[in-house]
């Protein structure tokens, strides 16, 4: 599909969509669907036939080949995915969502499309139904203000922020609950693998004379951290 022009992709998608609505696809159907002139359709169909994507006899019906069908389905799925993202998740009007999906579907990196698909699947399969943050977003779009529970959360976060510190500043015997890890990917990955994840409770057990390294207790396990690593871990001080 990467070797096809945007226009060629639009034609394949159009043939697929029309074939789902009608038993046969004619050149005039494609021209009407894409709002282009008949000679343009004939020229593109000839081009697609040379690439073994469609079959078309003179004055006959247009059919997708097996290869063309695979390409068309992939293009169509991308289109539906973007429409779903704009309309069902962001709440954009269906007509606008359809138009915008057509405009950008050819310009997104495959990795971006993959992540959008995973995001949609994650939201749609949420075991608790519509996520609270999504409902809050809809409220914000409609009213221009955050719902009350968001304001309460902000106040709680502000209180937590006031009682937070980086792990390296805790004293022996103090405990903290991990809020976030601010480190380069390599160090962050190592800390996460060690079980130091947001929400986990950490207790400072021992400290070297100069504060480096420090011995901490996480989920019943003793771990040794360098001061540099500990300074990357923000915790809510518990005592």
Integer angstrom CA distances of residue 141 from 86, 136, 138: 14, 9, 5
Which pLDDT belongs to residue 237?
A: 85
Which pLDDT belongs to residue 1?
A: 45
Residue 122 lies in a domain: no
CATH number at residue 1: 1.10.10.10
Residue finishing a domain among 108, 139, 155: 108
CATH number at residue 197: 2.30.30.90
Strands (E), the chain: 54-56, 62-64, 164-166, 175-181, 201-207, 214-218, 221-225, 233-237
Nearest to 232 by CA among 176, 174, 183, 162: 183
Residue 100 lies in a domain: yes
Residue 78 lies in a domain: yes
Query: Do both 89 and 175 map to the same domain?
Result: no
Q: What is the CA radius of gyration of the chain?
A: 28
Query: Do both 96 and 170 map to the same domain?
Result: no
In this structure, are residues 204 and 173 in contact, taking their beta carbons and an 8 Å threshold? yes
Query: Do both 5 and 99 map to the same domain?
Result: yes
pTM for the model: 0.53
Residue finishing a domain among 62, 85, 108: 108
Report how many domains make up the chain. 2
Residue 179 lies in a domain: yes
* Close Cβ partners of 19 (under 8 Å, ≥ 6 residues apart): 25, 63, 64
Which pLDDT belongs to residue 55?
A: 93
Q: Which domain holds residue 183?
A: 163-237
Residue finishing a domain among 108, 129, 150: 108
Residue 226 lies in a domain: yes
Residue 130 lies in a domain: no
Which residues of the chain have a pLDDT value below 70?
Answer: 1-2, 151-163, 239
Share of the chain above pLDDT 70, in %: 93
């Amino acid at each position: 599909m990467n070797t096809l022009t945007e226009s060629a992709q639009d034609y394949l998608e159009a043939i697929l969509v029309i074939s789902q609505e009608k038993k046969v696809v004619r050149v005039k159907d494609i021209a009407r669907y894409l709002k282009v002139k008949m000679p343009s359709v004939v020229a593109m169909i000839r081009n697609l036939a040379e690439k073994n994507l469609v079959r078309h006899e003179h004055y006959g019906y247009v059919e997708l080949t097996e290869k063309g069908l695979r390409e068309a389905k992939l293009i169509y799925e991308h289109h539906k995915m973007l429409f779903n993202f704009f309309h069902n998740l962001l709440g954009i009007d269906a007509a606008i969502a359809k138009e915008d999906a057509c405009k950008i579907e050819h310009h997104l990196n495959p990795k971006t499309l993959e992540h959008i698909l995973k995001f949609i699947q994650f939201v749609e399969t949420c075991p608790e139904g519509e996520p609270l943050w999504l409902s809050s977003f809809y409220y914000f779009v409609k009213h221009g203000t955050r719902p009350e529970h968001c304001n309460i959360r902000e106040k709680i976060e502000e209180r937590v922020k006031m009682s937070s510190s980086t792990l390296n500043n805790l004293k022996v015997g103090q405990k903290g609950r991990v809020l976030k890890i601010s480190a380069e990917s390599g160090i962050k990955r190592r800390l996460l693998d060690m079980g130091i994840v947001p929400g986990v409770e950490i207790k400072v057990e021992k400290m070297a004379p100069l504060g480096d390294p420090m011995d901490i207790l996480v989920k019943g396990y003793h771990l040794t951290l360098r001061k540099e690593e500990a300074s990357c871990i923000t915790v809510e001080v518990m005592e």
